[in-house]
Chain A
Amino acid sequence: MLDKLKQRIKELLTNKIVNCVIGYEQGDNPTLARPVYITKPNEAERLVYNEYCIPILAKYILKPEVRSLKLEAGKIGIIAKPSDVRALVGLIQEKQIIREDVYIIAVGRKEDFPKIYDEIIETPLSELDAKRKTQDAEQLKQIAEFEKKTPEEKRAFWQREFDKCIKCYACRQICPLCYCRVCIADKNQPQWIPPMPNSGGNFSWNMIRAYHLAGRCIDCGECERACPVDIPLMMLNKKIQQMIKEKFDYQAGLDPEVPPPLSTYQEDDKEKFII
């Protein structure tokens, strides 16, 4: 599979279909893979693809160095897991990238991807994806357990969890949909989110982060993975996903043509208070 992938990337670069490919290379030790930009055909040899290829690559498409490449013509290639493709759908929907500017090389099982990729290298269910699936199931169970608590217990639970937050903003930095030029957490006039990692400030930060991703979170799980103090952020994200699915029959990251329900005005909106 890896040989086929390398071969294909070489061809794409040689034929000038893309002028850069975002993929993974071997990290400092065998259990680490890190993102890499491949711009020359022979560099394709550096590519790896294994269960350690975890960090979301879609995030890199927004980096200024990649953006400036795009100005010079040619597409940006990206080796994409299902979550990468979902993130790309979100970014296209929110006009952060233009579909024609990216060349999506999906790697995995066809049924796991939204159908917007340019080509797919089919593989059986990878270890990584399988692990993600069991994780998902566990989280849903966790949420179901949590729902049984009283409102006071729920609040106490989150207060305890958020109290751990050290305001490192790793969750924000890794999130493919967190691309604001100025994050609300960094604004100080007015300062809606107190910068100190204290109880109240942490609560505002974590709730606002979750709310700003409501109806947009594409369920990659990166925020929770990045969090150094293991706050179960995906419980929040997934609960909101469930509610959006239930109320609006919508799931983020599947179809760039479907208008996102939480930020679209509709004449026949059943909530009269909008205007």
Chain B
Amino acid sequence: MARIGVFICHCGENISRTVDVVKAAEAAATFRGVVHSVEYKYMCSSPGQNLIKEAIKEKKLTGVVVAACSPKMHEPTFRRACHEAGLNPYFCEISNVREQCSWVHEDKTVGTAKTIDLIRLMVEKTRKNHELQHIKVPITKKALVIGAGIAGIQAALDIADGGQEVILVEKDPSIGGHMAQLSETVPTLDCSQCILTPKMVDASRHENITLYTWSEVIDVKGYMGNFEVTIRKNPRYVKEDVCTGCGLCYQKCPQKKIQGKFDAGVGLRRAIYVPSPQAVPNVPVIDKDHCTKLLKDRCGVCQKVCPTGAIDYEMKEEIITEKIGAIVVATGYDLIPNNFYGEYGQGKYADVIDGLQFERILSASGPTAGEIKRPSDGKIAESVVFIKCVGSRDPAKGIPYCSKICCMYAGKQAMLYKHKVHHGQAYVFYMDIRAGGKGYEEFIQKGIEEEGTTYIRGRVARIFKKGDKLIVRGMDTLSGQKIELAVDLVVLASAMIPNKGVKELYQKLSISYDTYGWVSESHPKLKPIETSVAGIYLAGACQAPKDIPDAVSQASGAASKVLALLSKDELEKEPLVATIDKNICAGCNMCVQACPYQAIELKPIKDRKGNVLRYASEVNHGLCAGCGVCVAVCPSKAPDLAGITEEQIYAEIVSLG
């Protein structure tokens, strides 16, 4: 015989305001199988939980119904309390009388009547509960980090230092991401390459890290603890294990005029190249869209000059599959394309460039060796205008968000410019200055007071060319005056956007992203590192515009989450999974196609001679998330979901008479 206890929560006044909880408790006491029915101000508090625990012991309860807030809030709390009192936690059910009742009604009679109904049906469901045990699934002790910018590198290093194996996948030929392109960094102006290169080398040398550069993740299956990942290693046409990195090939390659990604188009590279002298791995790659050998089967110079015979024009892509326990997404950001803001003439005038291009010009190892030569004619720029919020904070352009770091790097770039061209003049057009970081405000002030950067509050309306100058026309909104400046160079602090192709990757990972393509965190405040999928974490600017310190701290956070997960041998999984009755299943394949978690497979049913008689579906309990789609789609209801069986749903409906 069922002995069920009903516990009704006031939730302060949240529930009791529109529900007569005393009356509801009296009504519940009369339901079939109910032997105990009480109400209390805060059921989730520890005295509240004790009420449940004591009743389980004293009244020998076989089931508990808590009428309270959404099960999303406190189902785990109350199930744990039941477990502690010796009752299988799956005999505890939550009747949501807050979100689904008191919060949506004003009239107390209605609220009370509905609460009584909601409790009644949950009592009926509880009467048909079964004891369930956690499902144990083994964990693969290996992590995957996608994207090897500073965030990905940091996450990989921390996980590897924690003693776990890491696969680090980078789609570019070298690791390092955007930080490798930067000159010096705010607010302490240390050289970006100098602080990054040691980490890049560490990542490539670490015994626990396997690096796949020039590679992409093309398929992801499975679930937390047991992912199966397919990686495509694109052909480099240079054998990594043979190349010594001597560089003869790219010194001799006759294709010299290619605008590469690393120098952001302000410098040129060859058809065979390493992105930068500090590249890791220091192995060149052939750009198949520009190599004469690959395009027209002529040339072949690099193969002739390579002393070790590392060049292989026949190289094919390689497909690698890896079993993985946890994943960190660190795919970073990109800048808006240069034709995005036509008004500013970017793409039309060579001397209107974006922030990354200017970083390359500032960089001592960049195409101008750190001299501020403007791209059009190589003349030293005597005056520069920096424009902030180009694209950002502009709902009309579809980017209402703030790119966050532009205030800082525009200030930095103006300062670095002044360090190099002492007599030069730097102007910064701004909407407002957002310098909310440690040492950031002081940094900006220093730029204004000590380095003589001129800040102009206002928007630039138009840029056009006159002679060899660029005319920047705008408005100073503080003085209300029109402004026209004739300068040598214009640097746009262009909006940050998610990297190309990441949405496809996120779809393969099944993680959510916002309308722009930034990865969504599981909770904006309390779970900023978790994605919507268990076992997949995020780090760095793939979540939203971020500076280096933020990217690095988040990477270490993600690494600690991964380490915590991989420190276990087994994962406990909720037993609320579907099972298919093979006697009933007709093998129609509908549930197989419908299951969002690819948890179902058609398996042959054979006779004694081994002949296949028919097929029937089977659920992999490790993969099943208990969503119930298969139950809904199956015409003969062969699948049933533990904890929410068809019989229970039926009993609930029937209880309403």
Residues of A within 8 A of B (CB): 71, 94-96, 179-184, 187, 189-192, 212, 259-260, 262-265, 267-268, 274-275
Contacts and interface: CB of A to CB of B under 8 A. Distances in A.
Main SS of the interface on chain A?
A: loop
Given A212-B635, A267-B510, 9 more contacts: A71-B611, A181-B585, A184-B636, A190-B646, A190-B650, A191-B650, A192-B646, A274-B596, A275-B627
Interface in B621-647: 625, 627, 629, 633, 635-638, 646-647
B159 to A, nearest CB: 28
Interface in B573-619: 583-591, 593-596, 602, 611, 615
A267 B507 contact: yes
A213 to B, nearest CB: 9
Contacts of B596: 265, 274-275
Given A183-B636, A268-B507, A96 B629 contact: no
7 contacts: A95-B587, A95-B588, A180-B588, A181-B636, A192-B646, A274-B627, A275-B627
A267 B646 CA distance: 27
B601 to A, nearest CB: 12
Contacts of A260: 590, 593
B650 A265 contact: no
A12 to B, nearest CB: 24
A216 to B, nearest CB: 9
Contacts of A183: 636
B491 to A, nearest CB: 38
Contact of B593 (A96, A187, A264): A264
Interface of B: 507, 510, 583-591, 593-596, 602, 611, 615, 625, 627, 629, 633, 635-638, 646-647, 649-651
Interface centre among B583, B633, B635, B649 (most CB of A within 10 A): B635
A35 B379 CA distance: 92
B647 A182 contact: no
Given A189-B647, A259-B593, A275-B629, A184 B635 contact: yes
Interface centre among A94, A96, A192, A263 (most CB of B within 10 A): A263
Contacts of B591: 263
A110 B435 CA distance: 73
B125 to A, nearest CB: 12
Contacts of A179: 586, 588
A114 B594 CA distance: 25
Given A94-B590, A267-B510, A192 B650 contact: yes
Contact of B594 (A71, A94, A95, A263): A263
B586 A263 contact: no
A262 B629 CA distance: 11
Contacts of A181: 583-586, 636
Contacts of A189: 647
Contacts of B588: 94-96, 179-180
Contact of B637 (A187, A262, A264, A268): A187
Contacts of B510: 267
A264 B633 CA distance: 10
B583 A95 contact: no
Nearest to B597: A275
Nearest to A90: B588
Contacts of B586: 96, 179-181
Please provide the 8 A-B residue pairs with the shortest distance between their CB atoms, ordered closest to farther.
A190-B650, A263-B590, A180-B636, A94-B588, A212-B635, A95-B589, A264-B593, A182-B584
Contacts of A190: 646-647, 649-651
A187 B639 CA distance: 13
A275 B510 CA distance: 11
A265 B593 contact: yes
A265 B647 contact: no
Contacts of A262: 633
B609 to A, nearest CB: 10
A206 B339 CA distance: 59
A33 B585 CA distance: 34
Contacts of B602: 95
A183 B638 CA distance: 10
Nearest to B504: A267
Interface centre among B507, B629, B636 (most CB of A within 10 A): B636
A105 to B, nearest CB: 26
Contacts of B651: 190
Nearest to B636: A180
A229 B587 CA distance: 32
A263 B587 contact: no
Contacts of A264: 593-594
A184 B637 contact: yes
Nearest to A181: B586
A187 B638 CA distance: 10
Interface centre among B510, B590, B602, B627 (most CB of A within 10 A): B590
Contacts of A267: 507, 510
Nearest to A269: B596
Contacts of B636: 180-184, 187
Given A264-B594, A274-B629, A95 B507 contact: no
